């Protein structure tokens, strides 16, 4: 795996054909030249189950399976919007689901990958909700409901999260430095790549004599910035 791409927070939505087109362009222009595409969560604005067949699902399926056909590996992490994304859809795209967080070794460096929501530990309400929703029992119970009910629940969850977010101070919606340090320490790594916060940046700092780095990819509804890894160097780049 030499050339790597990292994206997140595309929030693909049937109601937003422009982003669907940009994603197809991205796969063609950049995806094919890469050995692996890492999708760090929230590929979809919402995901109510692998029986989805709207324009977002079909566009992503087509773009990703074409990409896989050209030889690029496709790795998924769940986001908070699409944590119900299942093995069935991922396998149809020729991809593979990775746990959040995951560590990859690349040019002698250990890279920690995660969506980023688990690092927003100052948002106590959200963390409690996350824990409740992500249990295997809750997941199975949700997926057992009829599709129309799941879609209604997904819409309500989005509205509730938008309302909750509007009343929270900006700092609470960001990752906490302590959570970042603990994660890097736990995995004996110096580099973290994540999304979720929609605050694309390349942060560097020194901790215990080691240079740390946190690359944040951007949301496609705002400034779409992705990370490319080539020849051992990681760079944050805008798209288009
Ligand atoms: Mn997110």
For the chain (240 residues), the mean pLDDT of every run of 10, in chain order, is: 94 96 97 97 95 96 98 97 95 97 97 97 92 90 94 88 84 91 96 96 93 96 92 96
Q: What CATH number labels 4-238? A: 3.60.21.10
Kindly report the pTM of this predicted structure. Answer: 0.96
| Whether 157 contacts 80, CB under 8 Å | no
Going from the Cα of 43 to the center of ligand 1, the distance in angstroms, rounded, reads 9
Buried b (16+ CB within 10 A) or exposed e, 75-114: bbbbbbbbbbbbeebbeebbbebbebbbbbeeeeeebbbb
Going from the Cα of 41 to the center of ligand 1, the distance in angstroms, rounded, reads 7
Q: Quote the pLDDT of residue 230.
A: 97
Q: Quote the pLDDT of residue 18.
A: 95
Q: Quote the pLDDT of residue 208.
A: 85
Give residues whose Cβ lies within 5 Å of ion ligand 1: 42, 79-80, 196
Going from the Cα of 75 to the center of ligand 1, the distance in angstroms, rounded, reads 17
| Whether 81 contacts 158, CB under 8 Å | yes
Going from the Cα of 209 to the center of ligand 1, the distance in angstroms, rounded, reads 31
Q: Quote the pLDDT of residue 72.
A: 98
Token pair recorded at residue 24? 């197809």
CA 121 to chain centroid: 18
Nearest to 196 by CA among 47, 50, 78: 78
Going from the Cα of 16 to the center of ligand 1, the distance in angstroms, rounded, reads 18
């Amino acid at each position: 795996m030499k050339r790597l791409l990292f994206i997140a927070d595309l929030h693909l939505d049937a109601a937003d054909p422009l982003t669907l087109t940009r994603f197809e362009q991205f796969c063609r222009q950049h995806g094919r030249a890469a050995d692996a595409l890492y999708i760090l969560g929230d590929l979809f604005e919402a995901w109510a189950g692998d029986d989805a067949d709207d324009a977002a699902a079909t566009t992503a399926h087509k773009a990703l399976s074409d990409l896989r056909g050209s030889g690029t590996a496709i790795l998924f992490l769940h986001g908070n919007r699409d944590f119900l994304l299942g093995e069935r859809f991922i396998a149809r795209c020729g991809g593979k689901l990775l746990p959040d967080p995951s560590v990859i070794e690349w040019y002698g460096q250990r890279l920690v990958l995660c969506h980023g929501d688990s690092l927003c530990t100052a948002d106590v309400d959200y963390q409690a909700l996350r824990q409740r929703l992500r249990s295997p029992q809750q997941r199975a119970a949700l997926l057992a409901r009829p599709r129309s009910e799941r879609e209604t629940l997904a819409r309500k969850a989005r509205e509730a999260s938008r309302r909750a977010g509007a009343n929270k101070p900006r700092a609470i919606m960001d990752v906490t430095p302590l959570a970042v340090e603990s994660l890097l320490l736990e995995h004996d790594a110096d580099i973290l790549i994540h999304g979720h916060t929609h605050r694309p940046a390349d942060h560097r700092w020194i901790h215990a004599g080691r240079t740390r780095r946190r690359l944040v990819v951007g949301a496609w509804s705002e400034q779409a910035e992705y990370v490319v890894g080539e020849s051992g160097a990681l760079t944050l780049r805008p798209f288009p």
